[in-house]
Amino acid sequence: MDGHGPWEAEGALQLAGQRLALLDSARVYACGITPYDVTHLGHATTFVWVDMLGRALRLLGIEPDICRNVTDVDDVLDDAAARAGTDAEWFAAVGQFQFDTEMNQLNLRSPQHEPRAHRYIPHVVRLARHLLHSGSAYAREGSVYFKGGQVPARAGIDHDRALELAAEYGGRPDDPAKDHPLDVAVWQACGPDRVGWQSPWGRGRPGWHAECVAMSASVFGPAVDVHGGGADLAFPHHAYHAVMAEALTGVAPYARAWFHVGTVTVEGEKMAKSAGNLVLVSDLLAEHPAAAIRMMILDRPWHTCWDYSPELLDTAGARLEELYRAAGRSSGSAAAQQRVRQALAADLDVPTALDIAVDSGGDAARTLVTVLGLT
Ligand code: ZN
């Protein structure tokens, strides 16, 4: 068989220019939400793309095994629950329910695994003990810190920028108990005013990166095929996750490929509650079909950042109609269907796949309607 035969796209997916050779299934870990607030278009974009990755894998003959965790132990969650005058567990359950409802409306398939951080406390304690044993961490004043000084260099980030990002994402670089400002808590001592658990080091709670390491290692073992999440998680969260997981297991690289989905901005600004520019999924769903929202998210390269405007939904709606009309035609060739598969195998190139499907119609278009989750 030459390189252009009908089997060329089977089991091979290019992600960010890297060929991921797969035989049977693919382990995909996606960093999920901290259920303390409403779901906005930025969240939806990440998880619609993870869903799309799973659907594309299935088209290529590979069974996706997706784990999307829930970070339901977190300082910001505690703070939000306290402000609302309710306990964190109840608050997280309500947030999770709303998130699930909206993701269902957006036609996401349920992930195969959905671990919740609060069920992995003993695993984080074990993780801390292993890291202490191997000398990758040290215990100090009731906390266990992972030695993170080398992480920014590995992630290609300079020291000053790493400090800024560490502070922004709750890494407490100014914590005087640490040997190095870029060390991170695997286990963080805390008082009775915070949700906490007993441990060999006293009362405390898991660190954010450590929670995800504990969940990914428990579900998938030492490594994953793809680790995904929003691009803003690349540092510190994913960089620390990889280094900590490798220190735990000795298996490197932890992730064969990274799937950092582009950030969505509004008038050039990152969406944030403080900026008052959140585009809520519930508001979009009230006025537009889910398929149009999916089309807006997916008809672009997955890794680029983009700026939301309401006109994009009109464009997506028009594109959707074109595709549906093409899918209604009986014409279409096996070759076109194969070209759709090849476009999706080449870094999930949806715009090219759409052009082929709309042009050819028939089976190629019907295949694409299914793979994009537009049914
Ligand atoms: Zn994570």
Write the pLDDT tens digit of every residue in 138-170: 999 999 999 999 999 999 999 999 999 999 998
DSSP, collapsed to helix, strand or coil, labels residue 124 as helix
Distance 200 CA to ligand 1 centre (A): 25
Strand ranges in the chain using DSSP code E only, listed in sequence order? 12-15, 18-21, 25-30, 63-68, 137-140, 143-146, 184-189, 204-206, 224-230, 255-261, 264-266, 269-270, 306-308
Distance 355 CA to ligand 1 centre (A): 35
Its sign, for the CA torsion 167, 171, 175, 178, is negative
Distance 241 CA to ligand 1 centre (A): 7
Residues facing residue 70 across a β-bridge: 116
Q: Per-residue pLDDT averaged across 77-85, rounded?
A: 86
Distance 207 CA to ligand 1 centre (A): 11
Distance 212 CA to ligand 1 centre (A): 5
Q: Per-residue pLDDT averaged across 115-143, rounded?
A: 97
Parallel/antiparallel/unpaired status of strands 25-30 and 63-68: parallel
Q: Which of 257, 227, 253, 223 is nearest to 13 (CA)?
A: 257
- Ion ligand 1: residue ranges with CB closer than 5 A: 31, 212
27 in Cβ contact with 220 (< 8 Å): yes
> Residue 252, CB half-sphere, CA atoms under 13 Å: how many?
10
Distance 293 CA to ligand 1 centre (A): 25
Window from 86-90, 137-141, 168-172 with minimum mean pLDDT: 86-90
Distance 115 CA to ligand 1 centre (A): 11
Distance 163 CA to ligand 1 centre (A): 19
pLDDT of residue 109: 97
pLDDT of residue 224: 98
Distance 209 CA to ligand 1 centre (A): 6
pLDDT of residue 55: 98
CA distances in angstroms from 1 to 4, 168, 337, 362, listed in the order given = 8, 53, 19, 27
280 secondary structure, DSSP code: B
Four-CA torsion 267, 268, 270, 275, nearest 10 degrees: -50
Distance 94 CA to ligand 1 centre (A): 21
Distance 258 CA to ligand 1 centre (A): 12
185 secondary structure, DSSP code: E
Distance 320 CA to ligand 1 centre (A): 33
Question: Which 3-state string (H, E, C) describes 6-73?
Answer: CCCCCCEEEECCEEEECCCEEEEEECCCCCCCCCEHHHHHHHHHHHHHHHHHHHCCCEEEEEECECCC
Whether residue 291 is predicted with pLDDT greater than 70 in this model: the reply is yes
Distance 240 CA to ligand 1 centre (A): 10
Share of the chain above pLDDT 90, in %: 82
Whether residue 209 is predicted with pLDDT greater than 50 in this model: the reply is yes
Distance 350 CA to ligand 1 centre (A): 26
Domain extents in the chain: 22-309, 313-371
Q: Which of 113, 72, 117, 111 is nearest to 220 (CA)?
A: 113
Confidence of residue 84 (pLDDT cuts 50, 70, 90): confident
Whether residue 62 is predicted with pLDDT greater than 70 in this model: the reply is yes
Average pLDDT in the chain = 94
Its sign, for the CA torsion 237, 240, 246, 252, is positive
Distance 309 CA to ligand 1 centre (A): 29
Q: Per-residue pLDDT averaged across 74-100, rounded?
A: 87
Q: Which CATH class is domain 22-309?
A: alpha beta
Distance 128 CA to ligand 1 centre (A): 17
Distance 218 CA to ligand 1 centre (A): 13
Confidence of residue 251 (pLDDT cuts 50, 70, 90): very high
Q: Please name the residue that has the structure tokens 């992630």.
A: 155
Distance 375 CA to ligand 1 centre (A): 30
Window from 22-31, 89-98, 320-329 with minimum mean pLDDT: 89-98
Four-CA torsion 200, 201, 206, 210, nearest 10 degrees: -80
Structure tokens at 2: 């030459």
* Cα-based angle 239, 240, 245 (whole degrees, multiple of 5): 105
- Model pTM? 0.95
Confidence of residue 5 (pLDDT cuts 50, 70, 90): low
Distance 155 CA to ligand 1 centre (A): 16
Distance 224 CA to ligand 1 centre (A): 13
